[in-house]
Structures are given as structure tokens and as C-alpha cells.
Amino acid sequence: MGLDRKITYNSVSGFTLMELMLVVSVLGVLAVVGLPSLGDMVARAETNGASRELQTAFSLAKSEAIKRGQTVSLCASTAGTDCNADAWNNGWIVFVDANNDADGTAGSVDAGDTVLQYFDPTGQVTLTSSTDLMQFDYRGLGLNAATQDFKFCPSDNDADKARALEVSVTGRARVYYDGLDCP
């Protein structure tokens, strides 16, 4: 009794050229629609991240001023060792101003002063400020005479993605989003 089995392969599995073209065109449409919003999301994340990083620096300066019982300052810095006026885009430092002579310009960090931390901003964000130096006293209160503003603009200067940090005379930092313009 022999059973003769005949196996035939009549069906071919795979995609037709038409199906592949349809999938590629759908992916193309999704990419065209999705990529600009992805770019917006990245720009918003960069400005949010930079503003949070500066807010962290303010918190560090305030807490160290209270802990150490002396003036702690925050200024723009290019290399993380001294202040550089109007160089906020390059980073900033928090330092103990032992002799209370810092003014936010080069030479503010001198003998006896201690740099506590250097913050190097990430992303393509432009940071502008109304001051060169922020200082906090032994109680954690700001020593600046007026409210100071720090504005973060994305590389495309879209004001909808911009963020600002307002530091009151008491040293409280607040982030806001509305009514901003970028250069």
C-alpha cells in the first residue's frame, strides 16, 4: 500500500509591488506630517531643560548661602572658573563670594572664593539676561535690587517655544511662557 503524496506549492507569500508602494507612500505622508512637530517638541524640550537647569543653579546658590552663612553668587561663565559678563549662552557658575566683591565681570572669582558648580547649557538655546550677577545672602534672600529676567529662545527664535525665568528680589525663581518675544 503505497500512498503517493504529491505536494504542490502553488501559493507564493510576499508583497506585491502595489502593496509595497502603498506602504512607502503612507510612511512618506506620516514622515512629512510628523517631523515638523518632532522638531518643535525638541526645541521646546531644549528651552525647558535650559530654564530648569538655571532654576536648579538658583536653588543651589540659595541653599549653599544658607548652609554656609555667607554670600553665594551666580554669574555667566565661559570656562567655569570665572565670570564673563553677557556670556550666559556659554554656561554659568555658582560660587562662594568670600569677600563680597563680585560684580559679574572677569575677575569676580578671586583668591578665597570657591566655585561650587559649573553649569554647561545643553541644546541650541539663546539665553539673555537683565543682569550679570545674582547674589544670595546668608538667609537665602536675593541681594539684587530688582527683579531679574532670564529669557531662553530656541534656535529658530519661535516665541511659542520660548521660556523665561523671573527671579524676584526675595530670590524666588518662577518660569513663565506667555508674552515673550525672541530676537
pLDDT in tens, 51-93: 889 999 999 999 999 999 999 999 999 888 999 988 888 899 9
- Euclidean distance between CA atoms 136 and 159, whole angstroms: 30
Q: What is the mean pLDDT of residues 93-108?
A: 91
Average pLDDT, the chain: 86
Please write the tens of the pLDDT for every residue from 108-129: 999 889 999 999 876 788 888 8
Select the more confidently predicted residue: 46 or 14.
46
CATH topology of domain 37-176: minor pseudopilin epsh fold (3.55.40)
Q: Could you give the percent of the chain with pLDDT greater than 70?
A: 91
| pLDDT for 46 beyond 70 | yes
d(CA 5, CA 22): 40
Residue 39 has pLDDT above 80, yes or no: no
End-to-end CA distance of the chain: 92
Query: Is pLDDT above 90 for 10?
Result: no
The pLDDT > 90 percentage for the chain reads 31
Cα dihedral 181, 79, 175, 39 in deg (nearest 10): 60
Instruction: Decide if pLDDT at 36 tops 80.
Output: no
More confident residue, 110 or 12: 110
130, pLDDT greater than 90? no
DSSP string across 48-69: HHHHHHHHHHHHHHHHHHHHHT
Listed by start position, the domains of the chain span 37-176
Using the predicted structure, report yes or no on whether residue 166 has a pLDDT greater than 60: yes
Give the pLDDT confidence score for residue 79 in this predicted structure. Answer: 87
Does residue 175 contact residue 152 with C-beta atoms inside 8 Å? no
pLDDT in the model for residue 48: 86
